[in-house]
Amino acid sequence: MSTPTLVAGIDSSTQSCKVVVRDAGTGALVRFGQAPHPDGTEVDPAAWWDALQVAIGTAGGLDDVAAVSVGGQQHGMVALDADGRVIRPALLWNDTRSAQAAADLVVELGEGDTEAGRRAWAAAIGSVPVASFTVTKLRWLAEHEPENAARVAAVALPHDWLTWKLSGSQDLADLVTDRSDASGTGYFDPTANTYRRDLLTRALGRDGDIVLPRVLGPAERAGTVQGLATVLGPGAGDNAGAALGVGMRAGDVTFSLGTSGVVSAVANGPVNDPTGLVTGFADATGRFLPMATTLNASRVLDATAALLGVDHSGLSELALAAEPGAGGLVHVPYLDGERTPNLPTATGSLHGMTRSSMTRENLARAAVEGMLCGLAAGMQAVQEQGVKVRRVRIIGGAARSAAVRQVAPAVLGLPVEVPQVSEYVADGACRQAAWVLDGGAEAPSWETGSSQTYEAEPAPAVLERYLEVAGRVAAEHTD
Ligand SMILES: Nc1ncnc2c1ncn2[C@@H]1O[C@H](COP(=O)(O)OP(=O)(O)O)[C@@H](O)[C@H]1O
Ligand SMILES: O=C(CO)[C@@H](O)[C@H](O)COP(=O)(O)O
């Protein structure tokens, strides 16, 4: 029997680094490794590199792997000096300190008119920047750390930087990225497929000498891993990686429940939503990936489980023992501020507390419902951009929760599919690596694993009540 050609995919996500090794021909899983990332919203990229080394080691190394691609958390600002050194810890997608910078950039582009600014940004880059976007972090740097801003010679994203590190190059000119991740910077137009250097200059206050990673095509080679023959793929933002991993087609909507909660859909044409609820990012195949992203998903369940002194299965049992609507308890889970809706200074709140509603079961249920309602609202926003929903699938760490699987169809009023547990971002990166080797017009098709469909009696009152309470919370946090 001949030895299979192996490919590897990396997901350098918020909480950990995962490495998946698969058979390039069939997609069968061969090896896996994972290592944790430090907590916090600013992280020294060296910690990602260290975690990647551990995860690669656990996954049996890359020596026998023909190609590898890196998927990674989007938007994080990796600022490099002229010698290729990291200037300061990277500000992550969930760091909200640049919220004022985002508001300023919007109003400036609108020449003093916020609504005009939103329209102008949506037309320029397909999205209205909020604190998550790299462009706002650069403005924050220019305002708060001018000595660091003056040293910036190149700006990369987490996946770009890891790809570069794997190549062993220290030359800024060798930095590469892909269209999906570039589209989350705030200075890339995914329709024209060009950087908007004017917007970068507007943010950083410096002229066009900053090196930006070259944007590779969906299956273009980025070189090889240092010291090995392993080909490097272009990589992708994690959500575009997941879309490739789960095999999303038009009409498929995916809920990714990791640290972030993401509702995404594949579209053939661009989306330019001036409300900012939907970001018009690119996917990893040459299409588009409209998304609505919250700052609060799996960690809402983590925090509630810790509060109740249970593990994830205990939290599920409690939540499923409560009635839909949690006895009137509504959890608006803005525990880390919020991005969609854009309420960076908001905090979480519990409404409807009475002596009868304040049970452990209702607290657990309200956390699950609150997290899902935030995403249901995101799905409505995506639909308002003309996306037709054929099916909804749930992936990511919190998709393992029995309560999430069973409550989601009730909250959404739709059946939901849960693909078999897998690391879909790393799987998508693997599939991209196989595509790079194969060089075909489309990514190679792999046998998809089984999935389970969950149905429930629709409970529209849960979302209605959540939206009413969330509207009041938003009003408290809006000037
Ligand atoms: N059975 C479970 N129920 C709910 N949440 C879970 C479960 N298993 C893992 N998680 C949560 O999923 C998260 C990790 O998921 P992941 O998609 O890897 O996140 P990220 O991509 O943000 O790093 C953690 O917050 C973890 O506690
Ligand atoms: O900011 C976004 C998307 O715009 C997030 O989806 C990040 O890309 C992080 O993803 P996870 O690590 O939580 O999966």
pLDDT tens figures, 10-23: 999 999 999 999 99
What pLDDT was estimated at residue 196?
97
Residue 316: pLDDT band with limits 50, 70, 90: very high
Residues 6+ apart with CB under 8 A from 232: 67, 68, 69, 163, 166, 167, 221, 222, 223, 224, 225
Q: Which atom of ligand 1 is nearest to the CA of 401?
A: 3
Closest C-alpha residue for ligand 1 atom 4: 398
pTM greater than the 0.90 cutoff: yes
Residues having CB within 6 Å of any atom of ligand 1: 13-16, 258-259, 298-299, 301-302, 312, 396-398, 400-401
> Which of 16, 18, 73 has most ligand 2 atoms within 8 Å of its beta carbon, as the pocket-test mutant?
73
209 burial level (CB within 10 Å; 0-12, 13-18, 19+): exposed
Considering 181, 238, 252, 283, which one is annotated as catalytic?
Answer: 238
Residue 208 has pLDDT above 80, yes or no: no
What is the per-residue pLDDT across 89-113, written as a single tens digit (0 to 9) for each? 999 999 999 999 999 999 999 999 9
Cα 94 to middle of ligand 2, angstroms? 8
More confident: 388 or 463: 463
> Residue 183 burial by CB count (10 A; 0-12/13-18/19+): exposed, middle or buried?
buried
Tell which one of 74, 92, 298 to mutate to probe ligand 1, the residue whose CB is within 8 A of the most ligand atoms.
298
Q: 75: annotated binding-site residue?
A: yes
Whether residue 409 has pLDDT greater than 70: yes
Element (H, E) at 436: helix 424-438
Instruction: Place 449 in a pLDDT band, splitting at 50, 70 and 90.
Output: confident
* Mean pLDDT score, 202-216: 93
pLDDT band, very low/low/confident/very high, at 448 (cuts 50, 70, 90)? confident
pLDDT one-digit tens code per residue, 26-41: 999 999 999 999 999 9
Distances, alpha carbon 35 to alpha carbons 10, 11, 374, 378, in Å: 11, 11, 29, 31
Confirm whether residue 144 is marked as ligand binding: no
> ipTM exceeding 0.95?
yes
Q: What is the mean pLDDT of the chain?
A: 97
User: For residue 1, what pLDDT band results from cuts at 50, 70 and 90?
Assistant: low
**Is 238 known to be catalytic?**
yes
Alpha helices by DSSP H, listed for 81-209, are 99-109, 114-125, 134-144, 146-151, 158-167, 179-182, 197-204
What is the residue whose two structure tokens read 């290592």? 35
Name the residue with higher pLDDT: 390 or 63. Answer: 63
